[in-house]
Amino acid sequence: MPINYYLYLSAILFVMGAFGVMYRRTAIVKFMCIELMLNAVNLLLVAFSTVWGQTQAQVFVFFIMAVAAAEVAVGLAILMMIYRNLKSTDDSILSKMKW
């Protein structure tokens, strides 16, 4: 397969994730869109590493996935505490919290 297909697919996935982060209101959907953007970048890194015959990018993708998993775990824990206190995960309601 030509690398152009991977470029187009990665660009489409990244744009979908970016629009999801900008226009969605719930935090869970925003986390999913951020993960979609990270996976689009990972797909592009793996495609280029395959074309160029180097494996350093694939190792880098592994570390990106590990950091993304840790980010989701921490983010979901924070989200669970917000839901317990406010009974909603809507972003507009978070401005009512007292600091």
Digit-coded pLDDT (tens) for 22-49:
998 787 888 889 999 999 999 999 999 9
Rounded to 10 degrees, the C-alpha dihedral 33/36/41/46 comes to 170
Split into its structural domains, the chain has a count of 1
Asked whether residue 12 is assigned to any structural domain, the reply reads: yes
CA torsion, points 6, 59, 54, 38, in degrees to nearest 10? 20
d(Cα 91, Cα 86) in Å, to the nearest integer?
A: 11
Residue 56 resides in a domain: yes
Q: For the segment 60-99, what is each residue's pLDDT rounded down to a tens digit?
A: 899 989 988 898 888 888 888 888 877 877 777 766 666 5
Nearest to 37 by CA among 16, 22, 58: 16
Residue 94 inside a domain? The answer is no
* CATH at 69: 1.10.287.3510
Domain-located, residue 95: no
Whether 32 maps to a domain, the answer reads yes
> Whole-prediction pTM value?
0.79
With respect to residue 99, please indicate whether it lies within any of the assigned structural domains. no
Q: Tell whether 65 is covered by a domain.
A: yes
Domain span holding position 75: 3-89
